[in-house]
Structure 1
Amino acid sequence: MPKVQVNGIDLFYDIKGTGEPLLLIAGFLCDHAYWSLIMPSLISHYQVIRLDNRGMGRSSAPESPYSIKQMASDVAALLDRIGIETVHLAGHSMGGQIAQELALAYPEKVQSLMLLSSLAKGDKLFNSIIETWGDLLKSVDLKLYEKVVLPWIFTDTFYSIPGMVEGLIEFAIRYPFPPATYSLYYHSQAMLDFDTRDRLQKIHCPTLILVGKEDILTPLKFSQQLAQGIPNAELVIIERGGHGFLIESSDSVVSAMLNFLRKLKPAYTNFGF
């Protein structure tokens, strides 16, 4: 799988499928693999591009502060390097923050926008959680770290499935590309510094806001703020699922995404030829 050098780092990316380009940006603690469960449905209709943000997966992890604007610039540079002019764009959580910044700084590159479990600015509770997650790996091993984080990501229903959470923890421990401690700190600080509340009205592309009804990390009020701030944005609530609904309710999520994208296709008149 390829890498390109952009903004002084090696950025890992993956392309599958054919059709209009659809770019997926993962969030905190996640790399491109986080989208795996919905990939089969997406690549049936789109050329799907995934990447590892700086500091995650197989991309470079420079030992210097990161910012959301910087990571959006990485994405823009990636598109330039691989010769893709415009994309449908989806971002989950921190990836949604990066997607917002990309749509604001490079509107010519974004045909449509999908913000999943994301936010314009965190409140005190959210900020406290993210600050803790940024520091925690300095003090505990990855197994305990996952045990602390996952209750904020998944619902009680998900926890009730025998072996499901234990399997995710085991997967994280065995994953060959774990994040560096300092990368999580830099990502957490980037999230805390981010604020688009006063700029949302400048996003003019068709936008879908998608949130799980049981999301306790980025609750419904965050998505409502995005939907109220972005002109003509559509808000869809997934009834079953929390912050990790890409895993817990993947069928519902990909259905909502494809329904939104389908409505963007121009209606062709049948002239009999």
Structure 2
Amino acid sequence: MPIIRVNGIDVYYKLQGSSQNELLLLIAGFASDSSTWAAMMPSLLEEYQVLRFDNRGVGQSSAPDGPYSIQQMAADAAALLAHLGVARVHVAGHSMGGQIAQELALSQPEKIQSLLLLSAWAWGDGKFNALIELFGDLTQKLEGTLYQKVLLPWLFTEKFYSTPGAIDQLIDLIEKQPFPPTSHGLYHQSRAILTSDTSNRLMDIRCPTLVLVGQEDLVTPIKFSQQLSQGIPGAELVMLQGGHAFVVESAEAVAQAMLSYLEKQRRLSSK
């Protein structure tokens, strides 16, 4: 089981695919471990070597009971890359993972070949912050599967709910999750989100950047992605069908959008 000790915690990671291919790092969001990318992996592995890991607070990584920050979690990711001797990498982050990816691009610009921000944001407005605060507070009131069930309507669309068996299958996966997150780990992740803001530093992100968002995203609405694409020099904005959890609900469409952008950047860099 690949676990390394960095920054005072154990970090679980999974490296798949041919080492002959360029490396793509995937960073999951709030309350999600590296398995959140599972449906996208077959397509991504056709073109890239893929590195996934569990952020502090979830999965098989440590969940210390103390304050977290997005910059701290970006430092965890940077330490993992250093441990593996990675010189250059494409980085994709979903939701909170998009915040972590931004901080990684700002702190390690020489390593980042391209940045893909999915359901992401630079700073939250009043409604968003109230929602994230509530998600954190509910970790102290609700347990396990019930907590996850409360979050699901915010993450998935009516179309997904109307698909026979889709939600039941998802809940079954949640109930069988071998490494469920701790309530304190989720609470500290929520507070890390609330204290994160890259709005005044977006112009310092100089790598090619794709901003992807679901058209029915209730958590991080389209305006957040528009702000990112307007603030990051040369960033491209693409809107797809799906909600906040479109990496699950519309996994193949998201994977193809990512691969298409990366292929376009590859062609441009080879000219």
TM-score (norm 1): 0.96
* Aligned-partner residue type, residue 6 of structure 2: V
| Aligned equivalent of 2:151 | 149
Worse-superposed segment, 114-123 or 135-144: 135-144
Matched residues in 2 for 1:144 and 1:71: separation?
Answer: 27
Structure 1 segments, 4+ long, off by >3 Å, are: 266-269
User: Which sections of structure 2, spanning at least 5 residues, go unmatched?
Assistant: none
Cα offsets for 1:37-90 (capped at 9, x unmatched): 010111111110000001110001111111000000000010010111110000
| Aligned equivalent of 1:246 | 247
| Aligned equivalent of 1:258 | 259
* Aligned-partner residue type, residue 68 of structure 2: Y
User: Which sections of structure 1, spanning at least 5 residues, go unmatched?
Assistant: none
- 1:195 maps to 2:197: yes
* Aligned-partner residue type, residue 2 of structure 2: P
Matched residues in 2 for 1:184 and 1:14: separation?
Answer: 22
| Aligned equivalent of 1:14 | 14
Does the residue aligned with 2:93 lie in a helix, a strand or coil?
strand
Matched residues in 1 for 2:239 and 2:126: separation?
Answer: 23
| Aligned equivalent of 1:67 | 69
* Aligned-partner residue type, residue 25 of structure 1: I
| Aligned equivalent of 1:81 | 83
Matched residues in 2 for 1:232 and 1:119: separation?
Answer: 16
Report matched runs for 1:118-197 at 5 Å. Answer: 118-197=120-199
Matched residues in 2 for 1:168 and 1:145: separation?
Answer: 14
Does the residue aligned with 1:10 lie in a helix, a strand or coil?
strand
Contact between 2:24 and 2:50, CA under 8 Å: does it hold in 1? yes
Matched residues in 2 for 1:192 and 1:100: separation?
Answer: 15
- 1:44 maps to 2:52: no
Does the residue aligned with 1:58 lie in a helix, a strand or coil?
coil
Matched residues in 2 for 1:164 and 1:263: separation?
Answer: 34
Matched residues in 2 for 1:254 and 1:197: separation?
Answer: 27
* Aligned-partner residue type, residue 170 of structure 1: D
Number of matched pairs: 268
Shift of 1:142: 2.0
Matched residues in 2 for 1:24 and 1:163: separation?
Answer: 28
Work out the percentage of aligned pairs sharing the same amino acid.
57
Contact between 2:28 and 2:97, CA under 8 Å: does it hold in 1? yes
Matched residues in 1 for 2:9 and 2:54: separation?
Answer: 12
Shift of 1:225: 0.3
Matched residues in 2 for 1:143 and 1:262: separation?
Answer: 39
Matched residues in 2 for 1:255 and 1:101: separation?
Answer: 25
* Aligned-partner residue type, residue 135 of structure 1: D
* Aligned-partner residue type, residue 94 of structure 2: H
- Find the partner of 2:26 among 24, 27, 49: 24
Does the residue aligned with 1:4 lie in a helix, a strand or coil?
strand
